[in-house]
Chain A
Amino acid sequence: MPWVDACAVDDVEEEDVIRWDHEDQTYAIFRSVDDEFYCTDGLCTHEQVHLSEGLVMENEIECPKHNGLFDYRTGKALRAPVCEDLRTYETRVGNGRVMVLVE
């Protein structure tokens, strides 16, 4: 289970998200208002829309297509039309880089 260098810390604005593609998988990397980094699957569990185009509000990400809501720290689905939780991945920060533990 390798740690993979995903992006620079500065690539993600505070309270925002970016898309990160790695080995045929797409992920979303979040930076919270507390300057913590989180990573989830990149596509909404409802209809496979890229969450990186959504809106981050505090600890939640809203899907850009149907406004479904997830807690990006836990992946928990919070509001219809999403019912299925997002998969989350462990992250760590070092030397100005964000690393993700992909499986």
Chain B
Amino acid sequence: MSKSTTSIGSELTVRDYSLTGANTRQAIENGLSAAEWYHSDVPRKKLKSLMKRRDAPAIHDTVIWIALHFVFAAGGLYFWGSWLCVPFWFAYGVVYGSACDSRWHECGHGTAFRTRWMNDIVYHIASFQIMRNPVNWRWSHARHHTDTLIVGRDPEIAWMHPISLVLKALAFVGIVDTWTSLKTLMRNAMGNLSQEERDYIPESQWPKAVFWARLHIAIYAAVLVVSLVMLVSGAGWKSLIPILLIGGPRVYGCWHFVMTGLLQHGGLAENVLDHRLNSRTLYMNPISRWVYWNMNYHIEHHMFPMVPYYSLPALHDLIKDDLPPPNTSIWDGYREMMGSVMKQRVDPNHAIRRSLPPTARPYREHLHLAVPERNTGLEIGDRGGT
């Protein structure tokens, strides 16, 4: 695969990832916010068939997902006290603590099931498992799709500069994230939304954010109480079981979603309006694809977020000639990403720029300049970037 690391998009001398800071104003002034993005050409008829929703695939996957919770938990409990329980808890952790991320994501988009209440139920279960306020994160993710990797606008940038490799490594064991998530839920439960949350969540939704935070905290508090009662009653190590079952997998089972999630945009460009420059599509093994619900087709997902996860492989086949070649495996993705990340630690304006196949339309880093509806009145020469 031919590629280079180079400066792409608007070069920034200072990066302020807050949603109310200098880069926020700069992004809006430069037309990078709520801009028009590049899309590969897909005939309307074909796109409609790809967007079509069905309940069956997600019901099938969800039944398996729920069943695996019970099977692995039962194995963990049955073999408790022996090393044989470890692989069961390991698998339970992934099914609970990692698969929930993709279920949260897909059901948040409302694309997994055709039936709306099914999306909503799985969305709330998965939000609880991953310790995300279901209201806050619905809105933050909407912003992520509007302004993907636009500094000062996107609240979900995983690789913020300067990059701390220690924090990134710790993310695989979830301790820092879990603590941060619980603190946020607790703050929300006390009726307090941060300035940034108030920026991207409409005021009408604030009471709902507080309600769901209170419910999540109440359940976690109940789990903790049960565990403490067991400990006081002399259950010993068995008093850990409630936490291993509920809440704990967010720590010991999150590694898979962190592994796949970091690949989505890592090492790629900020402040561009072409998802081929800031998102990564890669091939991976079928188990990871099942856990991840096909979000390895991440360029495709960002270009056409209405296409459900089970149709993403077909969408990929349709537009792959317009996309950079996918990474061939998770390992290949990490090799590419980490090479760029190490350079970004020295120069945050560096980014991977993969060569496009000859059949593809060229990258359009400044598409927003050509869209009259988004015209901010600035001349091309007035705008930042390269």
Contacts and interface: CB of A to CB of B under 8 A. Distances in A.
**Are A and B genuine complex partners?**
yes
Interface of A: 16, 46-48, 54-55, 57, 62, 64-67, 69, 78-81, 83
Max chain A C-beta neighbours (<10 A), residue from B34, B116, B306: B306
Nearest to A60: B116
A16 B47 CA distance: 12
A85 to B, nearest CB: 13
14 contacts: A46-B142, A47-B146, A48-B34, A54-B306, A55-B53, A65-B145, A65-B146, A66-B145, A67-B110, A67-B305, A80-B138, A81-B138, A81-B139, A83-B205
Interface string B351-386: 000000000000000000000010000000000000
Interface in B107-159: 109-111, 114, 116, 138-139, 142, 145-146
B306 A16 contact: no
Max chain B C-beta neighbours (<10 A), residue from A16, A55, A81: A81
Interface string B203-214: 011000000000
Contacts of A57: 53, 114
Nearest to B39: A53
Given A55-B51, A79-B110, 17 more contacts: A46-B142, A47-B34, A47-B146, A48-B373, A57-B114, A62-B306, A65-B145, A66-B145, A67-B110, A67-B111, A67-B305, A67-B306, A69-B110, A80-B138, A80-B142, A81-B138, A83-B202
B204 A83 contact: yes
A80 B139 contact: yes
A24 to B, nearest CB: 11
B306 A55 contact: yes
A55 B51 CA distance: 7
Closest A-B pairs by Cβ, 3 of them: A81-B142, A66-B142, A55-B51
B205 A80 contact: yes
Nearest to B373: A48
Contacts of B110: 62, 67, 69, 79
Contact of A64 (B53, B205, B305): B305
B48 interface: yes
Given A55-B48, A57-B53, A80-B205, A67 B109 contact: yes
Contacts of A55: 48, 51-53, 306
Interface string B177-212: 000000000000000000000000010110000000
